[in-house]
Amino acid sequence: MVTLVQRTGASLGDRLPAPGWRTRFAPAPTGYLHLGHLVNALHVWGLARAFGGHVILRLEDHDRTRCRPEYETALLDDLEWLGFVPDHGDIAQFRLGATPGRQSDNGAAYDAALTRLGDMQRVYACTCSRRDILAIAGPTVAGEEAAYPGTCRHNRQSPDGTRARRVVLDDGEVRFEDLALGPQQQIPSHDCGDVLVRDRLGHPTYQFAVVVDDLKQGIDVVIRGEDLLASTGRQIMLAHSLGRGTPPLFYHHALIRHADGRKLSKAAHDTSLRELRASGADADSLIGEAAKRAGLLHAPDRLAASDVAQLFA
Ligand SMILES: [Zn+2]
């Protein structure tokens, strides 16, 4: 018997789409999964199982310079060990090779989307380095991004000079109702400027790939950590430019953090699920621990992946 944290307010079920809606669990195989990923899985599977959603497994391996096959194998092993079963994107199929759920197999979709935006005169080549952008945008507060100042939009570069491409973002505000955080308003043209959609190596960027994937896979609800909240307005704008009439709904959940406030990260080698498993932890205890640290349980009771709906029902 687990003790749930009580919540108030309008029922989440009333604000979600009709049963059959789709969400995704979309880790990047650039390191081992840690407790932060488990917290995201709890929200994705918990909300889907409680309110009639379907979970799609997507491997976000667009950044080919950082992805490694052993991370992908470990990620699939961890999910199976924990007991989280996707409704689309079978783990066994991922192990066999090509699936539409792997970004590296979706190059044609990103190219087609870029062509579509190019036909609308929204795409331009960008030769700016990060240093160039910082030099013009000025110093930024730690953790804040530098907005792209539009240098190459006004001074069109030869497309032969780089493979990097940006998409023109319209001025104006984007408003949306976050399912967890309430009403939001962002001005992407001010916050980030024109979005980099392809990097200088020719790889789609995260911002572009997720929008194309969410559109292609018919994702209705995006459930992710609040560190991505600031990306939402620009993603809604990009999706609109690509013909999406109604944007997906968003649910941004809190991240679990170190005692000093830093978020857990793969880069910092925070204790991975596989290390915890190797040191004797069992799956249900880890899930309960993650639920406790995410504020979904009062005490770290054991909890099976098949029972996470009760965290939200
Ligand atoms: Zn530029």
Question: Between 155 and 71, where is the model more confident?
Answer: 71
Q: What percent of the chain has pLDDT over 70?
A: 90
Confidence of residue 252 (pLDDT cuts 50, 70, 90): very high
Question: 191 versus 23: which is more confidently predicted?
Answer: 23
Q: How far is the centre of ligand 1, averaged over its atoms, from the C-alpha of 194 (Å)? A: 9
How many angstroms is it from 243 CA to the middle of ligand 1?
Answer: 26
pLDDT average, residue stretch 255-269? 69
End-to-end CA distance of the chain: 15
Dihedral sign of CA atoms 125, 171, 213, 65 in order? positive
**Residue 222 pLDDT exceeds 80:** yes
Given this model, what pLDDT does residue 299 score? 85
Q: How close is the Cα of 156 to the center of ligand 1, in Å?
A: 9
What is the chain's mean pLDDT, rounded? 89
Q: Ligand 1 centre from 61 Cα, in Å?
A: 25
In the predicted model, is pLDDT for residue 180 greater than 80?
Answer: yes
Instruction: Tell me how far the alpha carbon of residue 43 is from its chain's centroid.
Output: 13
* Higher pLDDT, residue 179 or 95: 179
- Spacing, Cα 150 to ligand 1 middle (Å): 7
Q: What separation in Å is there between the alpha carbon of 118 and the centre of ligand 1?
A: 16
How close is the Cα of 226 to the center of ligand 1, in Å? 28
- Residue 143's pLDDT is what? 58
Inter-CA distances, 13 with 23, 51, 152, 220, Å: 14, 6, 45, 14
Distance 154 CA to ligand 1 centre (A): 9
pLDDT classification of 64: cutoffs 50, 70, 90 = confident
Q: How far is the CA of 136 from the centre of ligand 1 (A)?
A: 11
